[in-house]
């Protein structure tokens, strides 16, 4: 079945249909059918199509999977009102009830998409949020309209070229997975049976993907491409690379999936007949441009490949769930966070497609921000792969504060056995150490203005977000600078109102479920503090801003190990003015969160 867009006359002029086969995963081989309206909207299901066309359009005879009308000649019949192709109700601003049947021309790319809608709208229609701007496709040169305000991929391409580009990219991804089929490695038809991957004997359905293949069968072109990419990144970063990634031992591979998948568990139980070893040439080598020239053998290239790509499991989606934290156990969406608001069921446009922030795994979030801290065995940590400082998952290497790192962060992670490790001094570094007696300090690297936040941190399950944002939502902010304070103001941390160096700290409304949980645990003093803080409850730091509107890219947060379990964060327009320079080193009881470099004392060498 072709995976390109094909005309779907059953739905009317301009409608296209596409069937996509899943290429990997447990449902590999299954197909999904998508439709594209004349105006470019994508429909993924019959429900969406029904919603899109409106109640006046009866789809009971329409075979969504096949794209034809049942019991009728699909070529001779079109749905009664093909023009009732409106925006989905999920996008209420643009949804319109009574369109006029468009003609074929409206489906062409010469007709601006939004203009088409505007032409067919009634007088009561709301004006479009943005007017399309005419442009020429950078590929074919044809004129097409662009919604200048919409952030859209490949918007310099017309609709057709864009679809082709996406299809091409998809092919490239497929190529990446299966290989070129032409090189000598791709010509090998049988596994060697002796390489580390073969020794793992992973079930085929589990171990799909290029780097799950026998080492002798890994496409040389792809491996070379990876190597070139790694070298470019190496030069770009100007950093000495971590020791070469090697084929992961069986134990590590098994841990990555937490042993929850029976197939993986079975693979894990298989005895290792031979010790896994690295080729002698590679045992003590690091990736360095000089070491790679001029033409490394395939085996060498393979061992230079990113360790992440050696991961044999394509089903990495479950890595985001520990299954045991409060967030994972939560069953309902809050309906208020930005991701919930994006969901169709809450009236959103389904563009972000992310899990409710309150349901995003706390362990996962913590591992991303504090990869070395969370290696302890407690609190479900064993369900997730242990963090390793020298190598993090791809998505974790960038300490993103976007959909990933903005996720609620459990502040209850403690580091038994690690707290006594000596804190490394970053002599000459740009960040400023916290003063004595300070339990939590916001530091801005290079700014030299510490903002300590004393006292107990969040409750065990309290999510914490440190979000980068522009200062453009003033209505969400209280007046004046604010820092987080604990229910108990610590001595040595004087408060000061209106200090211009202090960051603004925004707190989200308390989650109702968390409210109930916290109410069972919190003391009366906490309530008093909440009252003082205007009823704020669960400590959710959502955003940290500088007063000048600059983003706190280099924000660091000092957290007290001993008091992470304490409940009752609140916020107040009080702060500590800080001291510049001459600050003593932080106590070993502190750990530091940084947007860029997450580390705790024990992670430093």
Q: Interface with DNA by CB under 7 A: which residues?
A: 20, 22-28, 32, 34, 42, 44-48, 64-65, 150-156, 165-166, 169-170, 173, 237, 314-321, 333, 343-345, 351-356, 359-360, 394-395, 398-403, 405-406, 467-469, 553, 595-596
Question: Smallest gap, in angstroms, from Cβ of residue 521 to DNA?
Answer: 25
Please count the CA atoms within 13 angstroms of the CA of 84 that sit on its side-chain side: 18
Per the structure block, which two tokens stand in for 199? Answer: 């020794």
Neighbours of 283 (CB within 10 A): 11
CA geometry: angle 557, 503, 593, nearest 5 deg: 10
The span from the CA of 553 to the CA of 467, in Å, is 10
Contact 247, 321 (CB under 8 A): no
Question: Smallest gap, in angstroms, from Cβ of residue 512 to DNA?
Answer: 17
Question: Smallest gap, in angstroms, from Cβ of residue 339 to DNA?
Answer: 7
The 3-state DSSP composition of the chain as helix, strand, coil percent (nearest 5) reads: 30, 10, 60
Question: Smallest gap, in angstroms, from Cβ of residue 90 to DNA?
Answer: 10
Dmax (CA) for the chain in angstroms is: 84
Looking at beta carbons only, is 218 or 359 nearer to DNA? 359
Question: Smallest gap, in angstroms, from Cβ of residue 154 to DNA?
Answer: 4
88: preceding bond cis by omega (within 30 degrees): no
| Pairing of the two strands 132-136 and 68-69 | unpaired
Q: Which residue has the tokens 């290029």?
A: 210
Question: Smallest gap, in angstroms, from Cβ of residue 398 to DNA?
Answer: 4
Convert 300-320 to b/e letters by CB count within 10 Å (16 or more is b): bbbbbbbbbbbbbbbbeeebb
Looking at beta carbons only, is 314 or 438 nearer to DNA? 314
Looking at beta carbons only, is 288 or 470 nearer to DNA? 470
Question: Smallest gap, in angstroms, from Cβ of residue 222 to DNA?
Answer: 12
The span from the CA of 345 to the CA of 353, in Å, is 12
Q: Which residue has the tokens 């309150």?
A: 358
Looking at beta carbons only, is 329 or 528 nearer to DNA? 329
Q: Tell me the backbone φ, ψ of residue 444, rounded to 5 degrees.
A: -115, 115
Question: Smallest gap, in angstroms, from Cβ of residue 212 to DNA?
Answer: 13
Looking at beta carbons only, is 282 or 595 nearer to DNA? 595
Looking at beta carbons only, is 217 or 467 nearer to DNA? 467
Looking at beta carbons only, is 415 or 557 nearer to DNA? 557
Question: Smallest gap, in angstroms, from Cβ of residue 364 to DNA?
Answer: 8
Looking at beta carbons only, is 470 or 580 nearer to DNA? 470
The span from the CA of 568 to the CA of 586, in Å, is 24
Contact 570, 538 (CB under 8 A): no
Looking at beta carbons only, is 536 or 544 nearer to DNA? 544
Q: Which residue has the tokens 């960051």?
A: 503
Please count the CA atoms within 13 angstroms of the CA of 407 that sit on its side-chain side: 25
Instruction: Note the helical H segments in 179-279.
Output: 184-187, 196-200, 220-237, 250-256, 262-269
DSSP 3-state of 380: coil
The span from the CA of 482 to the CA of 335, in Å, is 27
Looking at beta carbons only, is 369 or 415 nearer to DNA? 369
296 phi-psi bin (left φ>0, alpha ψ -120 to 50, beta other): beta
Question: Smallest gap, in angstroms, from Cβ of residue 57 to DNA?
Answer: 14
The span from the CA of 80 to the CA of 58, in Å, is 8
Contact 52, 37 (CB under 8 A): yes
Looking at beta carbons only, is 265 or 281 nearer to DNA? 265
Looking at beta carbons only, is 149 or 272 nearer to DNA? 149
The answer for residues whose C-beta is within 8 angstroms of residue 295's C-beta and 6 or more apart is none
Question: Smallest gap, in angstroms, from Cβ of residue 160 to DNA?
Answer: 13
The span from the CA of 176 to the CA of 172, in Å, is 6
Question: Smallest gap, in angstroms, from Cβ of residue 274 to DNA?
Answer: 30
The span from the CA of 343 to the CA of 353, in Å, is 7
Looking at beta carbons only, is 172 or 523 nearer to DNA? 172
Question: Smallest gap, in angstroms, from Cβ of residue 338 to DNA?
Answer: 8
The span from the CA of 311 to the CA of 208, in Å, is 10
């Amino acid at each position: 079945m072709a995976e390109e867009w094909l005309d779907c006359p059953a739905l009317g002029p301009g409608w296209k249909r596409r069937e996509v086969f899943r290429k990997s995963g447990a449902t590999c081989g299954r197909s999904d059918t998508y439709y594209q309206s004349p105006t470019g909207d994508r429909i993924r299901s019959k429900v969406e199509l029904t919603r899109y066309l409106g109640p006046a359009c009866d789809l009971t005879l329409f075979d969504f999977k096949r794209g034809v009308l049942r019991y009728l000649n699909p070529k001779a019949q079109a749905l009664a009102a093909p023009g009732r192709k409106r925006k989905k109700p999920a996008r209420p601003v643009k949804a319109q009830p009574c369109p006029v049947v468009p003609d074929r021309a409206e489906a062409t790319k010469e007709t601006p998409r939004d203009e088409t809608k505007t032409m067919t709208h009634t007088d009561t229609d709301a004006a479009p949020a943005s007017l399309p701007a005419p442009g020429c496709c950078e590929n074919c040169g044809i004129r097409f309209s662009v919604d200048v305000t919409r952030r859209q991929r490949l918007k310099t391409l017309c609709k057709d070229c864009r679809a082709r580009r996406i299809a091409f990219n998809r092919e490239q991804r497929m190529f990446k997975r299966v290989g070129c089929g032409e090189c000598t490695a791709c010509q090998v038809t049988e596994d060697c049976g002796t390489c580390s991957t073969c020794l793992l004997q992973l079930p085929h359905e589990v171990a799909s993907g290029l780097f799950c293949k026998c080492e002798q069968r890994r496409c040389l072109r792809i491996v070379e491409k990876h190597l070139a990419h790694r070298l470019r990144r190496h030069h770009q970063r100007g950093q000495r690379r971590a020791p070469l990634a090697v084929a992961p031992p069986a134990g590590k591979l098994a841990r990555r999936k937490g042993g929850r998948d029976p197939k993986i568990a079975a693979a894990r139980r298989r005895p290792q007949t031979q010790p896994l070893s690295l080729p002698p040439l590679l045992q003590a080598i690091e990736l360095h441009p000089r070491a790679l020239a001029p033409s490394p053998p395939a085996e060498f290239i393979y061992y230079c490949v990113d360790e992440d790509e050696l991961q044999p499991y394509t089903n990495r989606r479950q890595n985001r769930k520990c299954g045991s934290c409060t967030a994972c156990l939560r069953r309902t969406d809050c309906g208020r966070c930005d991701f919930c608001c994006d969901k169709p069921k809450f009236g959103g446009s389904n563009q972000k497609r992310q899990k409710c922030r309150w349901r995003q795994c706390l362990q996962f979030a913590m591992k991303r921000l504090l990869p070395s801290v969370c290696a302890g065995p407690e609190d479900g940590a064993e369900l997730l792969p242990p963090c390793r400082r020298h190598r993090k998952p791809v998505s974790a290497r960038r300490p993103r504060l976007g959909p990933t790192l903005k996720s609620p962060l459990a502040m209850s992670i403690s580091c038994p056995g690690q707290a006594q490790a000596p804190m490394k001094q970053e002599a000459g570094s740009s960040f400023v150490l916290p003063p004595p007696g300070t339990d939590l300090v916001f530091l801005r690297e290079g700014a030299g203005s510490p903002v300590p936040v004393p006292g107990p941190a969040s409750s065990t399950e309290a999510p914490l977000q440190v979000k980068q944002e522009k200062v453009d939502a003033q209505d969400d902010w209280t007046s004046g600078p604010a820092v987080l304070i604990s229910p108990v103001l610590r001595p040595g941390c004087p408060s000061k109102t209106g200090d211009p160096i202090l960051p603004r700290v925004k707190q989200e409304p308390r989650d109702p479920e968390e409210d109930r949980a916290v109410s069972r645990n919190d003391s009366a003093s906490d309530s008093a503090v909440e009252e003082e803080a205007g009823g704020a409850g669960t400590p959710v730091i959502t955003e940290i801003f500088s007063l000048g509107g600059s983003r706190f890219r280099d924000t660091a947060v000092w957290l007290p190990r001993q008091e992470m379990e304490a409940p009752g964060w609140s916020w107040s327009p009080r702060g500590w003015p800080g001291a510049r320079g001459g600050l003593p080193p932080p106590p070993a009881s502190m750990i530091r969160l940084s947007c860029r470099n997450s580390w705790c004392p024990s992670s430093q060498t």
